[in-house]
Amino acid sequence: MSRTARRVPALILLLACLASAQTDIGPFFKKGAIRVLIFSGRNNHDWRTTTPFLRDSLLTTGSFDVRVTEEPAGITARTLAPYDVVVLDYNGPRWGETAEKALVEFVRSGKGLVALHGASYAFGGLDTLGDRHVRTGIIEPPWPEYAEMIGATWSQQAPKTGHGKRHSFRVKFVDPDHPIAKSLGPDFLANDELYHSLRMRPGVKVLATAYDSPDIGGTGKDEPILWTVNYGSGRVFYTALGHDVDAMREKGFVATFTRGTEWAAGRR
């Protein structure tokens, strides 16, 4: 047998090992941890500070292992396969068929999704926003499956979705026995934007609301703040809170975000 012939099986084995290392990243996660992938990189909010805060909030609990991608449009089913839950700190343009299908099937198959604040503005049907709330004038077709997954979206039709000036308000649990809310008390304090007139989809289970005072441009109604959605076999948690790091530092935000991520991953 020639030296070249002897090298061929070894080369094939090496290539197989490299391919396995690229697609099976499981061994590199903390054993027993909830595997989280945060989608970031495009948001009219300050994702450069909020994403690290979200990551650190999860890691501090000791229950999570967290990765971040700033290019979610490049995801595939293989990219998502090792993870238990995706967190959306994103409200930019649509990703294209491959990435969008991958996320839908990820959740539908029994995995988790967590979306916060401006994520209800994302993915078409509205004027796409750039950094610092600059309107781009680009309006893409809406992504209907996404709206079903997160349970509510913004609308520019009357009554328009919006918010009054930022202020302190109390968020009241309407389902205090839910695993996300249990033992947190009847309410908690937020200092944030209070979204109103979101277009809620059927099947949403509201966990908490806040009174939107007309004195500061609100609706005079209790507006939904936290909710869950069952999508296929998967779990989705949405919080309307989290405008910036200052808003995220509130104890109630941290508690409900970390618990909501646990719940979406099927661990609570």
How confident is the model at residue 155, as a pLDDT?
86
CATH number of this structure's domain 29-156+200-208+224-264, picked from the four choices 3.40.50.450, 1.10.287.70, 3.20.20.80, 3.40.50.880: 3.40.50.880
How confident is the model at residue 138, as a pLDDT?
66
Global pTM value: 0.87
How confident is the model at residue 133, as a pLDDT?
53
What would the pLDDT profile of 235-258 be if each residue is shown by its tens digit? 999 999 999 999 999 999 999 999
What would the pLDDT profile of 31-51 be if each residue is shown by its tens digit? 999 999 999 977 677 889 999
How confident is the model at residue 234, as a pLDDT?
99
How confident is the model at residue 15, as a pLDDT?
41
Answer yes or no: are the C-beta atoms of 186 and 210 closer than 8 Å.
no
Q: Please give the Cα distance from 160 to 264 (Å, whole number).
A: 29
Span of 31-40, 91-100, 202-211 with lowest mean pLDDT: 91-100
144's CB contacts (< 8 A; 6+ apart) are none
Q: How confident is the model at residue 122 (pLDDT cuts 50, 70, 90)?
A: confident
How confident is the model at residue 21, as a pLDDT?
37
How confident is the model at residue 210, as a pLDDT?
99
Three-state SS string over the chain comes to CCHHHHHHHHHHHHHHHHHHHHHCCHHHCCCCCEEEEEECCCCCCCHHHHHHHHHHHHHHCCCEEEEEECCHHHCCHHHHCCCCEEEECCCCCCCCHHHHHHHHHHHHCCCEEEEEHHHHHCCCCCEEECHHHCEEEEECCCCHHHHHHHCEECCCCCCCCEECCCEEEEEEECCCCCCCCCCCCCEEEEEECCEECCEECCCCEEEEEEECCHHHCCCCCEEEEEEEEEECCEEEEEECCCCCHHHHCCHHHHHHHHHHHHHHCCCC
**Rounded mean pLDDT, 123-142:** 63
Q: Where are the domains of the chain?
A: 29-156+200-208+224-264
**Rounded mean pLDDT, 19-27:** 44
How confident is the model at residue 230, as a pLDDT?
98
How confident is the model at residue 8, as a pLDDT?
46
**Rounded mean pLDDT, 84-93:** 92
What would the pLDDT profile of 174-183 be if each residue is shown by its tens digit? 999 999 999 9
How confident is the model at residue 24, as a pLDDT?
45
